[in-house]
Structures are given as structure tokens and as C-alpha cells.
Amino acid sequence: DTAVSQTPKYLVTQMGNDKSIKCEQNLGHDTMYWYKQDSKKFLKIMFSYNNKELIINETVPNRFSPKSPDKAHLNLHINSLELGDSAVYFCASSQVRSYGYTFGSGTRLTVV
């Protein structure tokens, strides 16, 4: 009965590979997000989708492509992985105009 679930929890891959992270929420929220947390624990927004429509697209390399097949799912595909992509990626959801986000437990991506 996890509210926001991400898979996988850990991902170790070589430079140049393509990988995907999946996210699902069962809260009925309208908006979903991807955040990146760096080694200093700073959380930075990458994307947000409202009801399958892209709302926020921060200055993220176009190797990162979010996809939302429906409002309960938001996946993140990363092409040509680089060492600097190593971080923890968090999916989150919220109800539009509500005041609180629910986060998943994160995906630790390590690029070697």
C-alpha cells in the first residue's frame, strides 16, 4: 500500500548506457515530479507533470526524458549516462494547489 513507489531502489551502470526509473503513485494526485538529490543532499526539481502534461522542465540535459503514460505514472529515461548523473532521484506527487508533496524512497543511481 505504498503511496509513491519507485523502482529500482539501486541502479549501477556503466557510462554510455541507457536506463529507466519507474514511478507510480496510488494517491489519486494530479501532479507528479522528478527531483535530483546531489551528494550534498541538495534537492533540485527536474520535471513536473500535471495529468500527463509537462508543466515544469528545468535546465536538464535532453538526455533526460520523462514520460507519463497516465496520471498515476511518471517514468524517467536517461540516455548516454555520464559520471555526473550519479545521484539519488526522487519521484513525488501532490494534489494541485494542495500544500504538501509525497515522496518516494528514491533511486540511487551510480554511473561507473
Partner 1 sequence: TQLLEQSPQFLSIQEGENLTVYCNSSSVFSSLQWYRQEPGEGPVLLVTVVTGGEVKKLKRLTFQFGDARKDSSLHITAAQPGDTGLYLCAGQLPADKLIFGTGTRLQVFP
The binding site for partner 1 (CB under 8 A) comprises 4, 31, 33, 35, 40-45, 48, 50, 55-56, 90, 92, 94, 96-97, 99-106
Give the shortest CB-45-to-partner 1 separation in angstroms: 6
By the 8 A CB rule, do 78 and 63 touch?
yes
CA–CA dist 112, 109 (Å, integer): 10
3-state secondary structure of 93: strand
Look at the block and give the residue holding cell 554510455: 16
Q: Which is nearer to partner 1, 64 or 90 (CB)?
A: 90
Instruction: For the CB of residue 2, give the shortest distance to partner 1 in the complex, in Å.
Output: 11
